Amino acid sequence: MLYGMDDDDYNEEFGLEKINKLNSKKISLIVAIALVGIVVIYISFRISYGILSKDSQNESKIVNNKDNTIISETEINSEQKDIRKSKKDKQKKEYKVYEGNHMQIATHNMDKIKTKFVPQPNENAQQLIKDIYASDEKQVYLTFDDGPSKDITPQILDILKANEVPATFFVLGARVELYPQILKREYEEGHYIANHGYSHKYSQIYENKDNTFKEYADCETAIKNALGNPDFNTYLFRFPGGSSGGHYEGVKSEARQLFREYGIAYTNWNCLTGDAENKTTKEACIQEMIDTKAEQNSIILLMHDANDKNQTLEALPEIIQYFKNEGYTFKNFYEIFK
């Protein structure tokens, strides 16, 4: 015996000891394998994360084409890249970046704001317009109704630009929707955009006072959309056919009151070329203008820039020269809504 154990006890104890030693080795091996496994998993995770990060970055370059098919940026064809480049170039031209406060402001808008180019409400506007008719000042407001038109309006704008004189365009909403870029040009070249209703259909406009106001509102919406400025307001209306008289005088009277309540001014004219009547030649238009001007000094001249008004286009340079020779100052209604 060893230490009080007989041979059987010794053999059993010795056997258990061997087993325990083997178990310890197995446990150590398992722990070692587990640690190696953990290290391998950790390394695999780091590698996978790096790949996923790159994939995530690449995903930011994925775009949808018009057919909603997913394509990578590297697969975008040259035409699409040209479009993107064109847009970026246009943006660079239109915007000036102010790095200090990260603002982007259209440079042409800054010019307009500095010159109070955006019309401002004026509670005295109606009286000031009335005063134009009674003034002794040699001043002329060139006004054009019924546009914009595709062919005539751009040529009228060319003439105004060449002579460096401002005008006021009483536009129709339906026409603005057809030619928004022409309206935008009118605005950008310093002319006053005023409201002439939407349809120019008398029976519709003058069905009741609410219809008259709706025509005004619909035209305002068209102007806002064309200029891309939801805050733009004209504050000035010209009733088709004039603000008073005629078959619709009752409705016009009610509409005038409604416009006053909303702070919207309106104006007519005290001189015209007759281009919407029977004056179909340049000479006839100029003579009608001289006749209706008579002895008045302060003039609001009515003309039209619809697409059939070639006589107006031909007469305009001579009309402008006539007023220049007479020492007139050319104005538009920014003089009132500034």
Band (pLDDT 50/70/90 cuts) for residue 25 is low
pLDDT (average), residues 214-237: 97
Separation between Cα atoms, residue 304 and residue 299, nearest integer Å: 16
Rg (CA), the chain: 40
Same domain, 29 and 176: no
Separation between Cα atoms, residue 79 and residue 76, nearest integer Å: 8
Task: Identify the residue with better confidence: 328 or 3.
Answer: 328
- On whether residue 184 sits in a domain, the answer given is yes
- On whether residue 311 sits in a domain, the answer given is yes
Same domain, 200 and 232: yes
Range scoring the smallest mean pLDDT among 16-25, 43-52, 67-76, 203-212: 67-76
Separation between Cα atoms, residue 231 and residue 227, nearest integer Å: 10
Percent share of the chain, pLDDT over 70: 67
**pLDDT above 50 (res 199):** yes
State the pLDDT at residue 1: 37
Same domain, 325 and 285: yes
State the pLDDT at residue 114: 40
Separation between Cα atoms, residue 119 and residue 189, nearest integer Å: 15
Cis before 230 (ω within 30): no
Domain end call among 119, 137, 160: 119
- On whether residue 165 sits in a domain, the answer given is yes
- On whether residue 67 sits in a domain, the answer given is no
Same domain, 111 and 153: no
State the pLDDT at residue 117: 78
Band (pLDDT 50/70/90 cuts) for residue 259 is very high
List pLDDT tens digits, range 305-325: 999 999 999 999 999 999 999
Separation between Cα atoms, residue 308 and residue 60, nearest integer Å: 54
- On whether residue 68 sits in a domain, the answer given is no
pLDDT (average), residues 113-126: 80
State the pLDDT at residue 63: 36
Domain end call among 98, 119, 140: 119
The average confidence (pLDDT) of the chain is 79
pLDDT (average), residues 79-86: 43
Same domain, 189 and 330: yes
- On whether residue 22 sits in a domain, the answer given is yes
Same domain, 248 and 284: yes
pLDDT (average), residues 185-207: 97
State the pLDDT at residue 35: 76
Separation between Cα atoms, residue 125 and residue 122, nearest integer Å: 5
Same domain, 291 and 277: yes
Residue 102 burial (10 A CB sphere; 0-12, 13-18, 19+):
exposed
Range scoring the smallest mean pLDDT among 76-90, 106-120, 216-230, 250-264: 76-90
- What residues contact residue 144 under an 8 Å CB cut-off, 6+ apart? 153, 156, 167, 168, 169, 170, 303, 304, 305, 312
Same domain, 222 and 307: yes
Separation between Cα atoms, residue 279 and residue 234, nearest integer Å: 30
Same domain, 198 and 307: yes
HEC letters along the chain: CECCECHHHHHHHHHHHHHHHHHHHHHHHHHHHHHHHHHHHHHHHHHHHHHHHHHHHHHCCEEECCCCCEEEHHHCCHHHHHHHHHHHHHHHHHEEEECCCCEEEEHHHHHHHHCCCCCCCCCCHHHHHHHHHHCCCCEEEEEEECCCCCCHHHHHHHHHHHHCCCCEEEECHHHHHHCHHHHHHHHHCCCEEEECCCCCCHHHHCCCHHHHHHHHHHHHHHHHHHHCCCCCCCCEECCCCCCCCCCCHHHHHHHHHHHHHCCCEECCCCEECCCCCCCCCHHHHHHHHHHHHCCCCEEEEEEECCCCCHHHHHHHHHHHHHHHHCCCEEECHHHCCC
Side chain identity at residue 111, one-letter code: D
Same domain, 112 and 136: no
State the pLDDT at residue 43: 62
Closest CA to 170 of 209, 139, 197, 133: 197
- Phi, psi (rounded to 5 degrees) for 161: -65, -40
pLDDT (average), residues 44-67: 43
State the pLDDT at residue 101: 30
Contact 166, 117 (CB under 8 A): no
State the pLDDT at residue 52: 41
List pLDDT tens digits, range 160-175: 999 999 999 999 999 9
Task: Identify the residue with better confidence: 290 or 3.
Answer: 290
Same domain, 141 and 183: yes
Q: Residue 142 sits in which domain range?
A: 125-335
Same domain, 110 and 142: no
**CATH number of domain containing 240:** 3.20.20.370
> Domain total for the chain?
3
- Give the dihedral of Cα atoms 147, 152, 154, 155; nearest 10 deg: -140
- On whether residue 52 sits in a domain, the answer given is no
Structure-block tokens of residue 322: 């006539």
Separation between Cα atoms, residue 21 and residue 15, nearest integer Å: 10
Band (pLDDT 50/70/90 cuts) for residue 109 is very low
- On whether residue 176 sits in a domain, the answer given is yes
**pLDDT above 80 (res 19):** no
- Whole-model pTM: value is 0.68
**pLDDT above 50 (res 251):** yes
